[in-house]
Structure 1
Amino acid sequence: MPQSQITRPPVRVPLVTEPLGVLGSLRAARRNVLSIIPDLATRQPMVSGRTGKRWHMVMDPDAIRRMLLENLDNYPKSLVTKNLLRPAIGESLFIAEGAHWRWQRRTAAPAFSHRNVMNLAPVMTDAAKRSAERIAATGPRAIDMAADMVRTTFDVIADVTFSGDGGFDLDAVHRGIDAYIAEAGRLSLFDILGLPDWVPRPARVMSGGAMAEMKRSADEAVEARRARGPRAVPDLLDLLLDGADPETKRRMSTPELRDNLLTFIVAGHETTALALGWSLYLCAYDQQVQDRARAEAQAVLEGRAATGADVAKLPFIRQIIDEALRLYPPAGLISRTAQAADTLCGREIRPGDTVMIPIYALHRNHLLWEAPDAFDPDRFADRKGIPRYAYLPFGDGPRICIGASFALQEAVIVLATLLARFRFTPVPGRDPAPVMILTLRPEGGVWLMAEAV
């Protein structure tokens, strides 16, 4: 549809306008975590309240900088987050704190160097080709592009983790962790009330057996690779097996490797799939943007699939992805627990307070963004004009996502390849609903018509 015919903004989460209370917050959070965010958070630098315990939502870039950089150790991940994820991914990079996090980060960082990420680009190109082939074979029927993007990005992460290890069932890993998150990842009343870690959470207790079996299988795969040695072209497991902390020379044990690989398998494909699914929805929603992106992609690619070397030549494709990540950040809300007294935005923070950064509201805050609910990739044409801590699709500070460059390279390769070959249009009445349990997913799928061009 032409820009002049767009009469409504793209889909968004309805935020609350009145206090919910403990039980109301529980009901809302179990449906959609983001629905507990007050609409006021899109118009203020900070909002505070009490729901069982004191909480604060911070949307001010300077205060966020203090939390994520200047006073990082005072704001570790909240107990809610750790309780939710520890059974699945242990004390991996995503959860670990302090010295235990630092040595793992130093050990893993070389695996995600620019050179290594570029070496993995052919895997991304091949996956983009297979996606295009599936879409072409679908014919003139609607296709759920959210589901296809999950398949595409899982193909990539499977190839760059346990590539060629036929004895390890990556699909089972994906299903196991996804089932764990679906069953155990919903906020329990115990978490909202701030009950201590030792009080059992029923749903998480029930899901422990499947996780234990999955971890055992992953351990066997790691040990088999350790015994066999690296592949001719090293994959992510090879790089991590070869890695050592440059300061202490410590290497990851098998359980540490396994927990980090499980983290990369899930985070490394779902977040990228979400960025791509939402990008395709937005391009179908605004045909002028899609036409401009297609012209850029076709001029660069000249009929072939995109490669790692093409990424720098596709700035508008990247802007679309950046804008999709602003409107629909995969991690729409992050939570921290203050360890000591502090002051944010002139407001007192007490030890034990829950301090949240509602990234969904930050990215739509009227104090920081012009027409914040509108889809406008050109706002990223000059990235220097965007306050650094106003845009956090991958977090920031020392704990910025280690795989951010991997994800962005993959997203540009896939989106450019598809837009160069197909015109995507919406299916009437099938708009996705942005719903966050652990990540911000398009509930109902992204159903689009795809026409070869």
Structure 2
Amino acid sequence: MDMPAPPLPVRVPLVTKPMGVWASLQASRRNLLSIIPELATRQPMVSGRTGKRWHMVMDPGAIRHILKDHLNDYPKSLVTKNLLKPAIGESLFIAEGAEWRWQRRASAPVFSFRNVRNLAPIMTAAASRSADRIASAGPRAINLFDEMVTATFDIISDVTFSGGDGFDRDGVHRAIDAYISDAGKISLFDILGLPDWLPRPGRLMSGSGLRDMKRVADEAIDRRRQAGTEGIPDLLDLLLSGEDPETKRHMSTAELRDNLLTFIVAGHETTALSLSWALYLCAFDQGIQDRARDEARAVLGDRPATGEDVDKLPLVRAILDEALRLYPPAAMVSRTAQAPDELCGREIRPGDTVILPIYALHRHKLLWEDPDAFRPERFTHPDKADRYAYLPFGDGPRICIGASFALQEAVIILATLLARFRFTPVAGREPEPVMILTLRPEGGVWLMAEDLAG
């Protein structure tokens, strides 16, 4: 008699029939991932037309071609730029060509191993505060997504504007959240590829909040420029002192502000999501949670995790890696082809939209064994998948500059929490994976947290 298959963690139901422009718009405004055809988890490439020609690419070799070997032929798409430019200007995330190269050269030393490790005590302190907040909430259901957003925003604001005199953290946080929720929704204008000088209706609502956020950041930068560095340099100090080694150029206040806001958005939202999904998965599989707790306690005892502990926690790190596989924060990225090309034997024309559906890539049946299952041991085993089958931080020259910062922060927080609490699911409160700008747990991650230190 066949045994029933074990349950799987939550996933997005992918479409099995073609969708027109209007249906695609309606679906994408609710959940961008819902427009991915199920075929994308079984084929190397899927093409179609929804207003304009598009191609979804899941073949690792073709993805390397796009992200690394022919980077200049595949810049970020107009959709991506239209969504993010009002908030983060011509920052490192959006800039192309020479403008991107000099900013990358000037910023790279900021995220060196030494600088990231020097910031670990801030992460440890935030992890400890998070554990205390969870414990003080009592033995009841807690929305761990909200808590992880609080913890990671504490960290990114501390390492970005340490001291923070006159810096309205709550105001910046509210402006970022409002922009993501109101302006991040895909516009029909974007899907049709209309020029970006045409105003996007959903993006007009957030203008005043963004202006206030930029003004506050500009003032904080100017104050720091005058006051100088005190103690261990934070991200703002490091960026202020950074220069392009080739041109000796330094960033202007506007360039600093756009990049700092990029780091604030990327540095708390994505890490909070990774931690939230990791905690959901640990509650989903109590056996893995118990093993990770044993590992964390053996290293930490009853103290919070530090930077020096990160490399001693391979299972905690593997849980995060697997959470990033199943629920990648940037679950879909797009590029616009600039030159005639061929991918997987298929013609690519200039102007075509080339989509990398990371969500489908990470669950591809030809690239991963049992792809929808939670199996962190994939990342502790030497025979890992193809390098370009796993892209939580992108790859090539434009790989996420803050990846090491995010992973250090996430390991410190997750290990600290798993060592102290047992997390269990709340009946009827499963999160729903929904992507607008990032892959969020719709409805929150509601878990019971039993304090084992009490």
**How would you bin the TM-score normalised by the shorter chain?**
over 0.9
SS in structure 2 opposite 1:352? coil
How far did residue 5 of structure 1 move? Answer: 9.7
Q: For residue 442 of structure 1, what is the aligned residue in structure 2?
A: 441
Counterpart position of 1:35: 34
1:211-222 pair list within 5 angstroms: 211-222=210-221
Deviation sequence 1:32-84 (CA, Å, 0-9, x none): 00001000001111000000000000000000000000000001000011011
Q: Contact conserved, 1:231 with 1:238, CA < 8 A, in 2? A: no
Deviation string 1:197-230 (CA, Å, 9 cap, x unpaired) is 2222122233223212221111111001000111
Aligned runs of 1:253-268 on 2, under 5 Å?
Answer: 253-268=252-267
> Which deviates the most, 210-219 or 316-325?
210-219
What is the TM-score when the length of structure 2 is the normalising length?
Answer: 0.98
Counterpart for residue 224 of structure 1:
223
In structure 2, the partner of 1:272 is: 271
Q: What is the TM-score normalised by the length of structure 1?
A: 0.98
Matched, 1:190 2:174: no
SS at match of 1:77: coil
Per-residue CA shift, 1:151-206, capped at 9, x if unaligned?
00011001100111220112211211220121111011111111122222122233
CA shift in 2, pair 1:252/1:383, >3 Å: farther
CA 1:283–1:130: 2 relative to 1, 3 Å: same
Give 1:304's aligned amino acid.
R
CA distance in 2, matches of 1:12, 1:323: 14
2:357 corresponds in structure 1 to 358
Mapped partners of 2:340, 2:55: distance in 1: 13
Determine if the alignment matches structure 1 residue 381 to structure 2 residue 380.
yes
Letter in 2 for 1:338: A
Corresponding residue of 2:368:
369
Whole-Å separation in 2 of the counterparts to 1:6 and 1:272 = 31
Q: In structure 2, what is the Cα distance between the partners aligned to 1:349 and 1:382?
A: 37
2:236 is matched with: 237
| Secondary structure of the structure 1 residue equivalent to 2:368 | coil
Q: Is 1:397 aligned with 2:396? A: yes
Displacement, 1:6? 8.0
**How far did residue 351 of structure 1 move?**
0.2
1:218 alignment partner AA: A
SS at match of 1:428: coil
Partner of 1:156: 155
* Equivalence for 2:411: 412
Distance 1:292 1:15 in 2: 33
Structure 1 stretch 396-405 or stretch 192-201: which is displaced more?
Answer: 192-201
Q: How big is the shift at 1:383? A: 5.3
Q: Give SS of 1:10's match.
A: coil
For residues 208 and 292 of structure 2, the distance between their equivalents in structure 1, rounded to whole angstroms, comes to 47
CA distance in 2, matches of 1:385, 1:206: 45
Query: What amino acid is the match of 2:205?
Result: M
What is the rounded CA distance, in whole Å, between the counterparts of 2:428 and 2:239 in structure 1? 46
| Correspondences of 1:38-57 after superposition (within 5 Å) | 38-57=37-56
Counterpart in the other structure of 1:102:
101
Structure 1 residues without counterparts, runs of 5 or longer: none
Q: Quote the offset at 1:382 in angstroms.
A: 2.8
Change (3 A) 1:387 1:402: same
Please name the residue that 1:166 is paired with. 165
Q: 4+ runs of 1 displaced by more than 3 Å?
A: 4-7
**Structure-2 residue corresponding to 1:205:** 204
Distance 1:207 1:140 in 2: 38
| Whole-Å separation in 2 of the counterparts to 1:113 and 1:34 | 34
Partner of 2:77: 78
Corresponding residue SS for 1:385 = coil
Q: One-letter code of the match for 1:345?
A: C
Q: Measure, in 2, the Cα distance between the counterparts of 1:177 and 1:146.
A: 16
Tell me the equivalent position of 1:118: 117
Mean Cα displacement is larger for which, 178-187 or 393-402?
A: 178-187
Instruction: Decide whether the 8 Å contact of 1:107 with 1:245 is kept in 2.
Output: yes
Q: CA separation of 1:445/1:406 partners in 2, compared to 1, >3 Å: closer, same or farther?
A: same
Partners of 2:150 and 2:4 lie apart in 1 by 33
Aligned equivalents of 1:323 and 1:302: distance in 2?
25
- Give the conservation status (yes or no) of the 8 Å contact 1:338–1:349: yes
Q: Secondary structure at the match of 1:448?
A: strand
Give 5+ residue unaligned stretches, structure 2: none
- Letter of the aligned partner of 1:167 in structure 2? G
Residue in 2 aligned with 1:327? 326
Measure, in 2, the Cα distance between the counterparts of 1:32 and 1:333: 11
Structure 2 counterpart of 1:364, one-letter code: R
Report the residue type matching 2:429 in the other structure. Answer: R
Number of residue pairs matched? Answer: 450
Distance 1:126 1:178, change over 3 A: same
Whole-angstrom distance in 2 between the partners of 1:413 and 1:209: 36
Q: 1:384 to 1:73 in 2, by over 3 A?
A: farther
CA distance in 2, matches of 1:407, 1:206: 30
Shift of residue 384, structure 1, vs aligned partner: 5.3
Which is worse superposed, 6-15 or 52-61? Answer: 6-15
Q: Which amino acid aligns with 2:43?
A: Q
Task: Kindly indicate whether residue 14 of structure 2 is the aligned counterpart of residue 15 of structure 1.
Answer: yes
Alpha-carbon distance in structure 2 between the residues aligned to 1:316 and 1:183? 37
Return the letter of the residue paired with 1:125.
Answer: T
Structure 1 residue 424 corresponds to structure 2 residue 423: yes
2:370 is paired with a residue whose SS is coil
Q: Counterparts of 1:13 and 1:100 in 2: how far apart (Å)?
A: 37
2:138 equivalent to 1:139: yes
The amino acid that maps onto 1:409 is Q
Aligned to 1:130, the other structure's residue is in SS state helix
1: CA distance, partners of 2:164 / 2:15: 48
State the secondary structure of the residue aligned to 1:244: coil
- In structure 1, the residue matched to 2:313 is 314
